[in-house]
Structure 1
Amino acid sequence: MSLKSNLLATMAAVTLATTAFAESTIAVDDAYARSSGKTAKAGAAFMMIQNSGDTDDRLIGAKSDAAARVELHTHKIDDAGVAKMIEVEEGFVIPAGETYMLQRGGDHVMFMGLTAPFEQGAKVPVTLIFENAGEVEIEIPVDLDRKDKGGHGSHSN
C-alpha cells in the first residue's frame, strides 16, 4: 500500500472512531411522551440523558416530524407563584459522567402543533441535537397514563 493510501485509511479510521466515540458518550433511557388528549395541539417528552464522556455536553435542540415546532422548555415560578413554561434557547448542560433528568414540572422537550395525536403505545421519532455528540435519533413511546416516578431531581443551570 502506498503512503497516500495508508494515510487515507488511517484518517478514515480515526474519523469513524471519533464519530462512534462521540455518539456513545450520550445515552437516553426511560423516555416517554404525553399529550393531554386526542385533540391536544401540544405534547411533551421526558427522559434520562446519560453523559458517559469526560467533558460536559449540551442538549441544544430537538426536531421531529410529529410537530410543527419542537423546543426545549422548562417551568419557572413567577413573582405571583404561578408556574410558566418557557423556552430554554441555550439548552441544557449534560454534565460529564452524570445523568440529567427531563421530567414533568421541570425541563422537557415540547412539541407544538402536533401533526397527529399522541396515541397510547405509539412511538414518536425525535432527533436530539447535542453540542458535542451531534444528533442522536430516538423513538419515544407515548405513555398517556404514566405518573411521575418522583425521586429524580432535575439538574439546574
Structure 2
Amino acid sequence: MKQAARKLSYAIAFAALMVAPAGAQDVKAGDLVISQAWSRATPGGAKVAGGYLNIENKGAAADRLIGGSADVAGKFEVHEMAVKDGVMTMRPLDKGLVIEPGKTVKLAPGGYHLMLMDLKGPLKQGDKVPVTLEFEKAGKVKVSFDVQGVGAQAPAGAGHSGGHDIKHAPGHSGMKK
C-alpha cells in the first residue's frame, strides 16, 4: 500500500510540473506585480525584438511605465499596436503606459508591447534576457524575459494568445492628457 501511495504522489508531483508555467518569477515593485515576462527568438541579423509581460497594480494610485533599457539593445521603447479602419499601426507611447489602480495591463503581441531595437545579437530560444523597466513611481525594476520560439504567441505554459484587459474608446490610448 505504501508503495502505491508513493507512486501516486510521484505521479501527482510530475503532473504538477508538467502543467506549471515554465517561466520567470513574479517581480514585485512597490504596488506593482510584474509577471510572465517573455520575448521571441530572433533570426540572425534581426535588429528588433518585442518584449511582453503583465503588470498588475495592487495599489490605490496609478503608475506609468515610461521606458527601460536592456544590455542586448541600443534602444528600448514602450509601444502600442492598433488596427484602425483596417490599417495596423504601431507607435511609441512617448508619455508611457498608465497602469490604473486595481487593473492589470497585458503587454502582448498585437497590443501594447516593448520594443528592443538595435539588437547587438540574436535572442535565442531558452535564453533569459535581463531588462530594466522604468516606472514613474516604482522606479527601475529588473526583470528577465524568457525567450520562446520564433512564432510564440504567449509565454510557455500560458495557453492563450494574450491581449490586454483594458479596453479604450476609439482614439483613446489610455494616456492622461
**Alpha-carbon shift at residue 85 of structure 1 (Å):** 1.4
Relative distance call for 1:60 and 1:90 in structure 2 (3 A) is: same
Structure 1 window deviating more from structure 2 (140-149 vs 63-72): it is 140-149
Residue 69 of structure 2 corresponds to which residue in structure 1?
A: 63
Aligned residues: 135
SS in 2 for 1:28: strand
Conserved 8 A contact 2:106-2:162: no
Residue 82 of structure 1 corresponds to which residue in structure 2?
A: 87
Deviations for 1:97-133, whole angstroms, at most 9, x for unmatched residues?
2211101001100011101101001111111111111
Matched, 1:138 2:143: yes
SS in 1 for 2:36: strand
Once residues 110 and 35 of structure 1 are traced to their aligned partners in structure 2, the CA distance between those partners, rounded to angstroms, is: 14
Once residues 100 and 51 of structure 1 are traced to their aligned partners in structure 2, the CA distance between those partners, rounded to angstroms, is: 9
Residue 13 of structure 1 corresponds to which residue in structure 2?
A: none
Name the TM-score, length of structure 1 as normaliser. Answer: 0.78
Conserved 8 A contact 1:35-1:42: no
Matched, 1:118 2:123: yes
Relative distance call for 1:71 and 1:152 in structure 2 (3 A) is: closer
Structure 1 window deviating more from structure 2 (34-43 vs 112-121): it is 34-43
Letter in 2 for 1:46: Y
**Alpha-carbon shift at residue 36 of structure 1 (Å):** 4.2
Residue 27 of structure 1 corresponds to which residue in structure 2?
A: 33
Residue 132 of structure 2 corresponds to which residue in structure 1?
A: 127
* Residue segments in structure 2 that go unaligned for 5+ positions in a row: 1-27, 155-159, 169-173
RMSD, aligned CA: 1.9
Once residues 99 and 71 of structure 1 are traced to their aligned partners in structure 2, the CA distance between those partners, rounded to angstroms, is: 20
Conserved 8 A contact 2:106-2:112: yes
* Residue segments in structure 1 that go unaligned for 5+ positions in a row: 1-21
Once residues 122 and 89 of structure 1 are traced to their aligned partners in structure 2, the CA distance between those partners, rounded to angstroms, is: 29
Conserved 8 A contact 2:37-2:51: yes
Name the TM-score, length of structure 2 as normaliser. Answer: 0.70
Once residues 151 and 139 of structure 1 are traced to their aligned partners in structure 2, the CA distance between those partners, rounded to angstroms, is: 18
Conserved 8 A contact 2:82-2:110: no
Deviations for 1:38-78, whole angstroms, at most 9, x for unmatched residues?
22110001111011111111101111111111101111335
**Alpha-carbon shift at residue 147 of structure 1 (Å):** 2.4
Once residues 67 and 90 of structure 2 are traced to their aligned partners in structure 1, the CA distance between those partners, rounded to angstroms, is: 16
Once residues 151 and 109 of structure 1 are traced to their aligned partners in structure 2, the CA distance between those partners, rounded to angstroms, is: 14
